[in-house]
């Protein structure tokens, strides 16, 4: 039996769902595997567009068409990654909430989202005017580089979470 929860994170972790995932021999690894596959899909589809924005790949393709082709995959995989990530978090909420790598992962996810939102609300609105030029506007290139950096940081911190669980108390 678990001790009496002393904070909201322990209440979540010691919930029926949290303990079921944590105590199961197969649930956590299965959820984690799905989470990793979904995250790889998210980052891979985003990287296709970002690498085009910064001019390192797919120069013969229009960025709007690349985005149109990859966006459904990105959002579907992101939804799956968010659901599975939430389930993983529930099983160890109190440990995750004091782990600096988990907190940095959340910050980097937020920064990636804000970068995407700003890009789509500003620079992307005029994509039909600049995507045919050999060089993209600085704002498009900056958004692509920032996105790549933020998402690589998410992966880096995500890996470190697994190696540091139980270190921080």
pLDDT of 133 above 80 = no
- 63, 122 in Cβ contact below 8 A? no
Q: Is the pLDDT of residue 91 over 70?
A: yes
Q: What does the mean pLDDT of the chain come to? A: 91
User: How far is the CA of 81 from the CAs of 52, 71, 84, 123, 143, in angstroms?
Assistant: 24, 15, 5, 27, 22
Q: What is the Cα gyration radius of the chain? A: 19
Are the C-beta atoms of 27 and 21 separated by less than 8 Å?
A: yes
Question: Taking 80 as the threshold, does the pLDDT of residue 7 lie above it?
Answer: yes
Among the listed ranges 20-24, 39-43, 53-57, 143-147, which one has the minimum average pLDDT value? 53-57
Domain boundaries, the chain: 8-164
- Which residues touch 57 (CB under 8 Å, ≥6 apart)? 48, 51
């Amino acid at each position: 039996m678990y001790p009496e929860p002393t904070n909201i994170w322990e209440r979540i972790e010691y919930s029926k769902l949290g303990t079921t995932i944590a105590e199961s021999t197969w649930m956590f690894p299965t959820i984690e595997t799905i989470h990793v596959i979904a995250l790889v899909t998210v980052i891979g589809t985003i990287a296709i567009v970002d690498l085009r924005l910064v001019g390192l790949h797919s120069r013969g393709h229009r960025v709007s068409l690349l985005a149109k082709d990859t966006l459904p995959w990105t959002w579907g995989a992101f939804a799956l990654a968010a659901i599975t990530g939430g389930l993983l978090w529930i099983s160890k909420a109190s440990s995750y909430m004091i782990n600096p790598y988990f907190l940095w992962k959340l910050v980097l996810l937020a920064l990636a989202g804000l970068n995407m939102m700003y890009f789509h609300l500003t620079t992307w609105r005029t994509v039909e005017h600049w995507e045919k030029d050999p060089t993209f506007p600085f704002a498009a290139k900056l958004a692509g580089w920032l996105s790549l950096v933020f998402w690589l940081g998410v992966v880096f911190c995500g890996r470190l979470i697994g190696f540091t669980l139980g270190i921080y108390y």
